[in-house]
């Protein structure tokens, strides 16, 4: 059923309103990815890690140079990891607009959403971003211990976190915080699967630029489907 939700999200490419949100989301995703990547390079340089990377790669001198083709290639590779926090920010910013477009087309009968509040929503988003970063730092340590399991650790961990957070964000547009949590707990496995299917393409450079907005649409469909059960 989650595949049906995703295909509905993809099919809405024909909707001009949805496409407008999608292209804006992709543009901001690229900007945030570049910003996160620049910060990453700055930290590497500050730690003196650039020379180590150059030696490991073998004679490459572009790690510290931001606007070069080599640096662009490195950014695409690192987007496998950096897109998770970027997707978190994008989905937080655009979920309401995406959900409005999805609901206008597929669920015009839905009731008015409760007012979550800007500051409450911002606080939740910042807290979640911190949790996401901390969890992935732990995951990096586990990767060093269990290298063959690295992709599954990444997908499973981020799938759980992304699924839980964005299902509840979609649900809280129409339910109280407690009701949203109760609906999530009753469908935890399905939401985890949806989050994992969102996390997997986040590791594919270029394709991952589309996933934050499509993921927001997918979770909107999933919420309405599970609420009717």
SS (H, E, C) the chain: CHHHHHHHHHHHHHCHHHHHHHHHHHHHHHHHHHHHHHHHHHHHHHHCHHHHHHHHHCCCCCCCCCCCHHHHHHHHHHHHHHHHHHHHHHHHHHHHHHHHHHHHHHCCCCCCCCCCCHHHHHHHHHHHHHHHHHHHHHHHHHHHHCHHHHHHHHHHHHHHHHHHHHHHHHHCCCCCHHHHHHHHHHCHHHHHHHHHHHHCHHHCCCHHHCHHHHHHHHHHHHHHHHHCC
Specify the range with the lowest mean pLDDT, choosing from 60-69, 116-125, 168-177: 60-69
- Confidence class of residue 62 from pLDDT cuts 50, 70 and 90? very low
Span 25-54, mean pLDDT? 71
Cα-Cα-Cα-Cα dihedral of 164, 202, 45, 139, to 10°? 50
Span 20-35, mean pLDDT? 83
pLDDT score of 8: 92
Residue with tokens 């206008």: 104
Domain count, the chain: 1
**Percent of the chain predicted with pLDDT > 70:** 76
Computed over every residue of the chain, the mean pLDDT equals 79
pLDDT score of 57: 44
- Confidence class of residue 153 from pLDDT cuts 50, 70 and 90? confident
pLDDT score of 63: 46
pLDDT score of 56: 47
Residue 171 has pLDDT above 80, yes or no: yes
pLDDT score of 193: 93
pTM for this model (two decimals): 0.77
Span 94-120, mean pLDDT? 77
CA nearest 160: which of 132, 141, 120? 132
- CA distances (Å), 128 to each of 88, 131, 139, 143, 166, in order? 8, 5, 16, 22, 10
Please give the Cα distance from 159 to 228 (Å, whole number): 23
Q: Give the residue numbers spanning the domain of 111.
A: 2-227
- Confidence class of residue 208 from pLDDT cuts 50, 70 and 90? confident
pLDDT score of 92: 75
Please give the Cα distance from 52 to 77 (Å, whole number): 18
Span 126-146, mean pLDDT? 75
CA nearest 20: which of 95, 89, 98? 98
Angle between helices 177-186 and 150-171 (to 10 degrees): 140
């Amino acid at each position: 059923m989650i595949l049906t939700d995703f295909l509905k999200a993809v099919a809405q490419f024909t909707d001009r309103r949805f496409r407008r949100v999608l292209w804006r989301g992709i543009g901001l995703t690229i900007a945030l990815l570049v910003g996160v990547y620049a910060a990453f390079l700055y930290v590497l340089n500050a730690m003196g890690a650039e020379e180590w990377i150059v030696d490991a790669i073998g004679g490459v001198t572009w790690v510290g140079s931001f606007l070069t083709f080599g640096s662009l290639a490195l950014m695409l590779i690192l987007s496998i990891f950096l897109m998770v926090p970027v997707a978190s920010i994008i989905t937080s910013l655009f979920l309401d607009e995406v959900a409005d477009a999805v609901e206008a087309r597929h669920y015009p009968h839905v009731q008015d959403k409760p007012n979550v509040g800007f500051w409450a929503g911002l606080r939740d988003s910042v807290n979640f971003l911190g949790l996401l970063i901390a969890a992935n730092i732990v995951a990096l340590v586990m990767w060093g211990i269990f290298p063959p399991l690295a992709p599954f650790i990444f997908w499973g961990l981020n799938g759980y976190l992304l699924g839980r957070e964005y299902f509840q964000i979609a649900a809280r547009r129409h339910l109280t915080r407690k009701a949203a949590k109760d609906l999530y707990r009753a469908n935890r496995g399905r939401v985890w699967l949806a989050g994992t299917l969102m996390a997997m393409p986040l590791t594919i450079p270029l394709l991952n630029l589309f996933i934050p907005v499509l993921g927001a649409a997918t979770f909107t469909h999933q919420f309405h489907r599970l609420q009717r059960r």
